[in-house]
């Protein structure tokens, strides 16, 4: 059971927009920044969004992040087949004194 809660899977058609939610608590998302990672099959995770809504250099602006209270969201617009991957949210947890991850969301582009 992950500390952060994500839907196990989402699916949407190409060129459409999809959002992935991440729910936590006051000890993690509510008091710290949220980061998002993309993991392609068989690959290491890749930083997608940091500090709630910032894009690392080289990441497409089709990706965006937001946060409100103890929940965060990742949005992907203009879906492409190459976006099929697992997506994880993460935040520092003050009570556990460590990083916590969501269980991951598998994105399928129909």
Partner 1 sequence: QVQLVQSGAEVKKPGSSVKVSCKASGGTFSSYTISWVRQAPGQGLEWMGRIIPILGIANYAQKFQGRVTITADKSTSTAYMELSSLRSEDTAVYYCARENRVSSGYLNYYYMDVWGKGTTVTVSS
* Interface with partner 1 (CB under 8 A), residue from 45, 53, 64, 70: 45
- Rule CB under 8 A: say whether 88 interacts with partner 1: yes
Give the DSSP H or E segment for 18. strand 18-23
* Interface with partner 1 (CB under 8 A), residue from 33, 72, 79, 85: 33
Q: Total residues contacting partner 1 (rule CB under 8 A)? A: 26
Looking at beta carbons only, is 71 or 102 nearer to partner 1? 102
* Interface with partner 1 (CB under 8 A), residue from 7, 10, 23, 50: 50
Looking at beta carbons only, is 81 or 97 nearer to partner 1? 97
Which residues are CB-neighbours of 28 under 8 A, at least 6 positions away? 3, 4, 70, 91, 92, 93, 94, 95, 100
Q: Which residues lie across from 54 on neighbouring strands? A: 50
Residues 77 and 17 sit within 8 Å (Cβ to Cβ): yes
Give the DSSP H or E segment for 10. strand 9-12
Q: Which residues bind partner 1 (CB under 8 A)?
A: 2, 32-33, 35, 37, 39, 44-47, 50-51, 54, 56, 88, 90, 92, 96-104
């Amino acid at each position: 059971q992950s500390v952060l809660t994500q839907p196990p899977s989402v699916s949407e058609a190409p060129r459409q927009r999809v959002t992935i939610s991440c729910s936590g608590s006051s000890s993690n998302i509510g008091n710290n920044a949220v980061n998002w990672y993309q993991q392609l099959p068989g690959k290491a995770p890749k930083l997608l969004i940091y500090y709630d809504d910032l894009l690392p250099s080289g990441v497409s602006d089709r990706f965006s992040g937001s946060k409100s209270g103890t929940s965060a969201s990742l949005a992907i617009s203009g879906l492409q087949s190459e976006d099929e991957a697992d997506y994880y949210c993460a935040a520092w947890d003050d009570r556990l004194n460590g990083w916590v991850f969501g269980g991951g969301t598998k994105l399928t582009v129909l």
